[in-house]
Amino acid sequence: MNKKLLGLLFVGLPLFTHAADIDAGKTKSAVCAACHGAEGVSAIPIYPNLKGQKEAYLVSALKAYKANQRQGGMSAVMTGQATLLSDDDIANLAAYYSSLK
C-alpha cells in the first residue's frame, strides 16, 4: 500500500482515544433530567427519550446543537445547554444514555 493511500485512511482518526465514562455521564445528566426524565424517559411528549438511544446519534445531536446547526422545536434551549458541555461531557452523556436499557 502506498504512503499516500495509507495517509488517506488515517485522516480524521484521533491519535488517542479513550473510553467514555458512564458514571461521569450519569452525574452530568442531572441537568438533562429536568426535561428528559431522571432515567432518560421524558414525561413531557415534546421532549425525546434519551434512554437507549444510539451513542453516535447522541454525540452527533449534541455537537450539532453546540454548533448551532439544529433549528426548530426546543433547539434554543438545547443549544444553550450544549454550549456548556465539553467534548468529554458529550461523550460521557452519550455513553450513559445509550447504556440504559
Structure pTM? Answer: 0.81
Residue 54 in this model has a pLDDT that exceeds 80: yes
- In the chain, what are the domains? 20-99 (1.10.760.10)
**How is residue 83 annotated by DSSP?**
T
Q: What is the predicted pLDDT for the residue at 69?
A: 97
Helical pair 75-82 and 55-66, crossing angle rounded to 10 deg: 90
If we measure between CA atoms, which residue out of 72, 70, 96 comes closest to residue 82?
Answer: 70
Q: Classify burial at 82, counting beta carbons within 10 Å of its beta carbon; exposed 0-12, middle 13-18, buried 19 or more.
A: buried
Residue of higher predicted confidence among 84 and 18: 84
Q: What is the predicted pLDDT for the residue at 19?
A: 87
What lies within 8 Å, CB to CB, of 44 at 6+ separation is 35
pLDDT for 21-38, tens place per residue?
999 999 999 999 999 999
Structural contact between residues 36 and 48, judged by C-beta atoms closer than 8 angstroms = yes
